[in-house]
Amino acid sequence: MNILVAIDDSNFSEAAADAVIAQTKTNDTEVRLLHVLEPFPTALAEKMGSEGVPDFPSARLKLRDQATDLLSKTTERFRSAGFETSYFVEEGDAREVILEYAQRWPADLIVVGSHGRKGMNRFLMGSVSEAVTRYARCSVEIVRLRSDH
């Protein structure tokens, strides 16, 4: 079984990883972790650049390094649990990248954490988990945190 786990630096992604480790047998299972760098980290670039001149290349490298560190640690958790695991960092719109990667690999299951956004925040930011569920050509598991977290 090929399982794609979409990871960001949130408790929701940690819960998704925990769910896969707890619920899945390691026999004949390959796990690929995917982190998507969204375009234009303007706020970070402005902090790293001089006044009025954002430093986009440095911001991208910093975000890529943070993603690689996160994925490396999560990969070790999966490997310690007995899974064949690798990780990838891609750039673009998270919804599109997850769907394209899952189809290209091909994944049998996509696992994503849900941020549980509602109302205007959901309208403005969109829902990655909803888009993945709607358009994926394979099964999708959405992992939610209990409300006491």
Q: Is residue 149 part of a domain?
A: no
Q: Is residue 24 part of a domain?
A: yes
Provide the domain count of the chain: 1
Q: Is residue 52 part of a domain?
A: yes
Residue 85 sits at φ, ψ, to 5 deg, of -140, 140
- Distance separating alpha carbons of residues 72 and 15, to the nearest angstrom: 17
- Distance separating alpha carbons of residues 144 and 53, to the nearest angstrom: 39
pLDDT at site 39 = 78
Strand order in the sheet with 109-113: 84-91, 30-37, 2-6, 109-113, 139-143
Question: What CATH number is associated with residue 120?
Answer: 3.40.50.620
Per the structure, the complete domain to which residue 123 belongs is given by 2-143
Residue 18's identity, in one-letter code, is D
Q: Is residue 108 part of a domain?
A: yes
* pTM for this prediction: 0.84
Q: Is residue 90 part of a domain?
A: yes
Which range has the worst mean pLDDT, 3-17, 113-127, 135-149?
A: 113-127
* pLDDT at 63 > cutoff 90: no
For the segment 111-130, the average pLDDT, to the nearest whole number, is 65
